[in-house]
Amino acid sequence: MKSLIWVVLSCCFWQESFAMQDTIFREYDIRGIVNRELSIEKAYDLARAIAVYFIEKNPAVTTVAVGMDGRIHSAAIKEQLCKGLLDSGLDVTFLGVCPSPALYFALHTLPVHAGIMITASHNPKEYNGFKICLGTDSVSGKEIAAIKDLFKSGAHRTSISKKGIYQEYAIIEPYVTMLVEKFPHLRGMNIPAVIDCGNGAAGTVLPELVKRMGWSQVHLLYPEVDGTYPHHEADPTVAANMVDVKKVLATTPSVVGLGLDGDADRMAAMTKEGELVVGDRLLALFAQHIAPTHPGAAVVFDVNASMVLIETLKKIGLRGCMASVGFPLVKARAKKENALLAGELSCHFLFKDRYFGYDDGIYSALRLFEILVATGKTLTELLATLPSTVSTPAIRMVCKEEDKKKIVRAVHEYLARKQGLELITIDGVRAQFPHGWGIIRASNTEPKIMVRFEADTVGHVHELKQEFYQALVPFFDEAYLRTRLELA
């Protein structure tokens, strides 16, 4: 009897352990810890649900492009995903291991109608997931929720006359060729640089790109695709993950360092002196470069953007447009505004100027090299041309999931009682004070709230922190709050 009970309990545990958890259906994609939140086997059923979603949205969809990063479980997930799509009557064009931008490139250049990228981007190695596109547009928000509902209801296509056809297409060569052809003026570039591929999907592209461009002074770190990420996590916006780049900059002639995230849709940059450059400052440099040929063009940025960016756009005659945080939302606003350039703090950059209008870390690196060559200046010298302010990084504080919106609402009410403040409520609350600004918003992906501050002096940043502290202290341990805000 005990053995029977054990078998029953074991079966229940197995089913629960390998079921898809609701937590994987996020604001911008589907992502979770493999075999804890995200089941490899259930990727088949998820694919059937995604197929229903595609056809409901556009009955003309017949072919789906599928790419994957180098994570250790990506190949197994790909098998289940493709089988589910094929059994739903959709043709599959498998692109191989590639960066997310290579999948986006395929959506613009191949006879495909939708795309799925198997990746967890910059997340630790235990994670995997899916970025989904219908046409050339990212699927996010309510559309992800619709896929979740279809999956949970067991939806799948029933009236299928035949299974789909599977084919493979090596996307890397045409993607590299496209990049080489777009930047003939960078061939033979003699700027000493170091680029950290982070053992991510960028390693499928950069060695060949560097070779074909004749960049003898560009040194690549960790170009081997390795889903265990043995050297560091694939998030170059975290200083700890750019330590090796910093060492190379300090000990070699390299004058600029770049880092790509796990699926190469983001690029971070570091100066010769080891300063990791915030994304909105890079966006300001890109904006300066396009302004002479595109006066009045729209540039989209998220609500975390600094006064440095906003003042720069005003000065050079470009139209700044603010969007909610999350690059699919930034991308959607960019499409609405017909923007030539968009970006966010996390170093996603979108170029419609001379490009397709999707986020591509490798293309962004080429645009940065282009500026360095054209100006003859170092990254440090270029940054010195921007307005000078004092700012904090995004400061994240853990709270209960159900308390996030309550905290943001309380801070909004507190700030609304202050006289003379301009409040922007696109995403959370951004308050404009006489000498600077502060923002609070709820994370879309974690049980956390985020604050950030910027002002003209260190003292005024401290005053902004104190103001927000008064509004936040009812919800947090006082010592924890003071530590996070770096208040003495």
Name the domain boundary from 123, 149, 170. 170
* Whether residue 6 has pLDDT greater than 60: no
For residue 107 the two structure tokens come to 């959506």
Name the domain boundary from 116, 144, 170. 170
Give the range of the structural domain holding residue 321, as residue numbers without chain letter: 174-383
pLDDT at residue 393, as a whole number: 85
Angle CA 154–157–163, to nearest 5: 125
How many angstroms separate the CA atoms of 399 and 21, rounded? 21
Asked if residues 306 and 454 have their Cβ atoms less than 8 Å apart, the reply is yes
How many angstroms separate the CA atoms of 367 and 183, rounded? 9
| Whether residues 44 and 152 fall in one domain | yes
Name the domain boundary from 139, 170, 201. 170
List residues bridging with 322 in a β-sheet. 301
Asked if residues 472 and 398 have their Cβ atoms less than 8 Å apart, the reply is no
pLDDT at residue 20, as a whole number: 86
Asked if residues 383 and 271 have their Cβ atoms less than 8 Å apart, the reply is yes
Whole-number average pLDDT of the chain: 94
Helix (H) or strand (E) holding 176: helix 172-182
How many angstroms separate the CA atoms of 445 and 396, rounded? 12
CATH of the domain at 121: 3.40.120.10
Q: What is the mean pLDDT of residues 336-358?
A: 97
| Whether residues 324 and 469 fall in one domain | no
| Whether residues 18 and 164 fall in one domain | yes
| Whether residues 190 and 283 fall in one domain | yes
End-to-end CA distance of the chain: 63
* Whether residue 9 has pLDDT greater than 70: no
Q: Largest Cα–Cα distance of the chain, in whole Å?
A: 81
| Whether residues 441 and 364 fall in one domain | no
| Whether residues 277 and 358 fall in one domain | yes
Map residue 81 onto helix, strand or coil.
helix
Number of domains in the chain: 3
User: How do beta strands 276-277 and 298-302 pair?
Assistant: unpaired
Q: What is this structure's pTM?
A: 0.92
| Whether residues 200 and 232 fall in one domain | yes
pLDDT band of 161, cuts 50, 70, 90:
confident
pLDDT at residue 1, as a whole number: 42
| Whether residues 353 and 476 fall in one domain | no
| Whether residues 49 and 157 fall in one domain | yes
| Whether residues 301 and 323 fall in one domain | yes
| Whether residues 103 and 223 fall in one domain | no
| Whether residues 191 and 318 fall in one domain | yes
Of 32-46, 440-454, 474-488, where does mean pLDDT reach its minimum? 440-454
Report the catalytic residues. 121
How many angstroms separate the CA atoms of 71 and 65, rounded? 19
CATH of the domain at 472: 3.30.310.50
